[in-house]
Amino acid sequence: MKSIEKQTPARIIALGFMAVILTGSFLLMLPVCVKPGVNLHYVDALFTSTSAVCVTGLIAVDTADTYTALGQAIVAFLIQVGGLGVTSVGVGVILALGRRVNLKERLLIKEAMNLDSGKGIVCIVKNVLKTTLCFEGAGAVLSYLVFSRDYPPLKALGISLFHSVAAFNNSGFDILGGLQNLTGYKDNILLNLTTSGLIIFGGLGFLVIMDIAGKRSFKKLCLHSKAVIVTTLILLAVGTVLLRLTEDITWLGAFFTSVSARTAGFTTFPLSDFTTAGLLTVTVLMFIGASPGSTGGGIKPSTLFTLFHTIKGAATNTQPHAFHYKIPQEAFYKAAIVTALSSLVVISGILCMCVLEPGLPFEDIMLEITSAFGTVGLSTGITPGLSPLSKLLEVLIMYIGRLGPLTIVTIWIFKPDTSVSFPEGSISIG
């Protein structure tokens, strides 16, 4: 216990996620969690647990056809813990027990939610939990109106609760069975819009939601919130138009796919029928992902926003700025590093998968690996047929994608500042 307390907050968070994943995999292997007659391998249980905790949604086995009601409940719980963050859930339990949150726990929350300061941590955690319950409750009610038409009341309630949790936490799991996801509801406007709303707000990030609720005016929002909202709207619009032009799908289907590709992983139209252009569009959206402090992965819209405006400033020989705010140079450095490391992870993953699965088309592999890294869950359907080594590769990539490649690098090789200084050299760029 003392050795854990000596670790940095980032390391504790990483170890916490790993512990929850391993615990979830063992629970999913219990006979009471697996349906009779189903032969579940541990690699598939580990894959499911990782996908749930990392709120990805990629599935090696169908959740409804493999797991009992208890197993499905465990998957939903893992999604909830992964979406809120292991640390936030832990602090929530501490508060529920009436205990005080100590300095170490405050630092963990600050690290987990990418906060600039440790002020008001307890209040933020309470608001996060309340926000989550409100959105998931509303989503469950609206989803029930749809599922109750096709299922008995009790089963419809279970499906609605599971779906709402999965959607708000940007995890593409479903318990409808048959590996069909939401293809049977591609024309249902209420379910499409409800799911899209849950995904969008879950992907905005809790801090943005609270900023919107507190200030209720776009002009009064902080730079981060403005950057996230504007970039999100642009990506949704561009993604919808491109998918509508490249694929034989409805405008509703194009919009839903554009929303889902940001990190949710739900599908109303099978991606196996998409053209190469459509798959490339989806892949780019998955690589960008959702916002910092949200339930999603990817390089984040704020990273793209920072890169764009900094490059624009360099091209026009002006100071990088947006919405009457100067963009800090440190933000650009971090954005560039995150993009470079993310690209390295994705490219390395694609290369390894090409070696392990030489018979699969390249575009399917590219989409699969990017989906794992962006914690999205979209796939052309190749996941169940992958070899155990390929599944373990995806487990690793999902883990890196959820925590962030920069976090993974720094927590293990980070060195404290030294007094050593080096002479400045010159290097040609471009």
Each residue's pLDDT expressed in tens, for the chain with a length of 430 residues: 455 556 666 677 777 788 889 999 999 999 999 999 889 999 999 999 999 988 888 888 888 889 998 999 999 889 888 877 655 655 555 555 555 655 555 666 665 555 555 566 667 777 778 888 888 899 999 999 999 998 999 999 999 999 998 888 888 888 887 778 888 888 999 999 999 999 888 888 777 888 888 887 888 888 888 888 898 899 999 999 999 999 989 999 999 999 998 778 888 898 888 999 999 999 999 998 877 766 677 888 888 888 888 888 888 888 888 888 888 888 888 888 889 999 999 999 999 999 999 999 999 999 999 999 988 888 888 988 899 999 999 999 999 888 877 777 776 655 555 555 556 555 555 5
The CA distance from 266 to 327, in Å, is 35
d(CA 167, CA 265): 9
Angstrom distance (rounded) from CA 147 to CA 367? 30
| Reported pTM | 0.86
The 3-state secondary structure of the chain reads: CHHHHCCCHHHHHHHHHHHHHHHHHHHHCCHHHECCCCCCCHHHHHHHHHHHHCCCCCCCCCHHHHECHHHHHHHHHHHHHHHHCHHHHHHHHHHHCCCCCCHHHHHHHHHHCCCCCCCCHHHHHHHHHHHHHHHHHHHHHHHHHHHCCCCCHHHHHHHHHHHHHHHHCCCCCCCCCCCCCCHHHCCCHHHHHHHHHHHHHHHHCHHHHHHHHHHCCHHHCCHHHHHHHHHHHHHHHHHHHHHHHHCCCCHHHHHHHHHHCCCCCCCCCCHHHCCHHHHHHHHHHHHHCCCCCCCCCCCCHHHHHHHHHHHHHHHHCCCCEECCEECCHHHHHHHHHHHHHHHHHHHHHHHHHHHHCCCCCHHHHHHHHHHHHCCCCCCCCCHHHCCHHHHHHHHHHHHHHHHCHHHHHHHHHCCCCCCCCCCCCCCCCC
Rounded to whole angstroms, the Cα distance separating 289 from 279 reads 15
- The rounded distance, in Å, linking the Cα atoms of 189 and 250 is 12
State the pLDDT at residue 418: 53
- Distance CA(138)–CA(194), nearest Å, equals 9
- Count of C-beta atoms within a 10 Å radius of residue 157: 16
For residue 296 the two structure tokens come to 């999603």
Asked if 305 and 230 count as a contact pair (C-beta separation under 8 A), the reply is yes
The contacts of residue 317 (CB under 8 Å, 6+ apart) are none
**CA–CA distance, 145 with 424 (Å, rounded to integer):** 65
Distance of CA 65 to the CA centre of its chain: 24
